[in-house]
Amino acid sequence: MSSLKGPAPSNAKFDGSPLRVAIVHSRWNKTVIDALVSGTIAKLKEQGVKESNIVLQAVPGSFELPLACQKVIAGGNVQAGATATDLLGGLSFGSGANSLSTGSRSSTPAPTVTNMPSQPFDAVIAIGVLIKGSTMHFEYICESVSHALMRVQLDTGVPVIFGVLTALTDDQALERAGLGRGENGKGHNHGEDWALAAVEMASHARRWR
């Protein structure tokens, strides 16, 4: 029997082709992050979002996601020629056509941004993976990050998609990235749902302006 859980598909069809989307992701629990980011990108492209309009921003951990989302949204209209350092104090920033191979996710140095977007972002997807340990750290970060991401979207009016897994075990995280190794199978990559939510909310937000 199929699960009752999960988003029902929208009755409306949304066109991703005019949209600019930023993916802000942490590097903690990288195997899971990489799968989620890849799933998100694949689904965004399937919805018509152009590769050159998908910009990646890496940050150390989930706790850093809200500030980075806020700065990326603010920097969406910065003048052409601004550098990553100008925008985020040294954090690397993928640019234009090579945004999907940004140095922030590999050992190569981050590219200097020469063609910073002159258009604002229509949506930002914040991706992090928090896995509970033996202290209260998990609870504090989950709570503060979810509240802060909500605040960023309400303060800026730009949809911020909540792509933060808050898993009690490694297996829960893996299953939600389509990397499951247990008897439940590989699971489902939640990045795909986040991409759909981004395209839908970005399209709504354009009409609401």
Query: Which lies closer to ligand DLZ via its Cβ, residue 127 or residue 195?
Result: 127
Residue 166 binds ligand DLZ (CB under 6 A)? no
Q: Which of 84, 83, 36, 79 is nearest to 57 (CA)?
A: 84
Nearest to 131 by CA among 57, 38, 24, 32: 32
Strand-pairing partners, residue 72, are: none
Answer yes or no: 188 catalytic. no
The minimum distance between CB 204 and ligand DLZ, in angstroms, equals 29
| The one catalytic residue among 25, 137, 190, 204 | 137
> Count of residues binding ligand DLZ (CB under 6 A)?
15
Contact (Cβ atoms closer than 8 angstroms) between residue 203 and residue 194: no
Sign of the alpha-carbon dihedral angle for 88, 89, 91, 96: positive
Q: Which of residues 61-100 bind ligand DLZ (CB under 6 A)?
A: 61-64
| Segment contacting ligand DLZ by CB under 6 A, of 58-66, 114-122, 152-160, 189-197 | 58-66
Is 174 an interacting residue with respect to ligand DLZ (CB under 6 A)?
Answer: no
* Cα 45 from Cα 165, distance rounded (Å): 22
Q: Whose structure tokens read 């795909």? A: 192
Residues numbered 120-159 forming contacts with ligand DLZ, rule: CB under 6 A: 128-131, 133, 137, 141
For ligand DLZ, the binding residues (CB under 6 A) are: 26, 28-29, 60-64, 128-131, 133, 137, 141
